[in-house]
Amino acid sequence: DAGITQSPRHKVTETGTPVTLRCHQTENHRYMYWYRQDPGHGLRLIHYSYGVKDTDKGEVSDGYSVSRSKTEDFLLTLESATSSQTSVYFCATGQAYYGYTFGSGTRLTVV
């Protein structure tokens, strides 16, 4: 069974609509992360969480918000989707000082 599940796996949405991506873990890891992956940019950190209700911004947080109301779930919300937010989104979790685990990714297209 996968320790990290991202949903949905694929989504097409219209500009201006709100979108929420979900990351669910069964590892009981303290740290959770949201990244976006775009060609030429690698993985860029959007937001991360270091505990329930404890979150902080990454390098590309504008236009995104997150929430973590329980250990296992980390939600990423695009309040009003724009075409520049078309990307592949990865969630990652970690507990110890190495071996962060990644989800399978969500491919989001904003039209």
Partner 1 sequence: AQKITQTQPGMFVQEKEAVTLDCTYDTSDPSYGLFWYKQPSSGEMIFLIYQGSYDQQNATEGRYSLNFQKARKSANLVISASQLGDSAMYFCAMREVIILTGGGNKLTFGTGTQLKVEL
Kindly list the residues in this chain that would bind partner 1 in the complex (CB under 8 A).
31, 33, 35, 40-45, 48, 50-51, 54, 56, 58-59, 88, 90, 92, 94, 97-102, 104-105
- Give all strands of the β-sheet with 73-78 in edge-to-edge order: 4-7, 19-25, 73-78, 64-70
User: DSSP assignment of 6-19, as one string?
Assistant: EE-SEEEE-TT--E
Instruction: Compute the least distance from the CB of residue 45 to partner 1, in Å.
Output: 6
| Cβ nearer to partner 1, comparing 9 with 15 | 9
| Cβ nearer to partner 1, comparing 77 with 101 | 101
Beta bridge partners of 86: none
CA 46 – CA 30 distance, rounded (Å): 17
Instruction: Compute the least distance from the CB of residue 13 to partner 1, in Å.
Output: 20
| Cβ nearer to partner 1, comparing 14 with 98 | 98
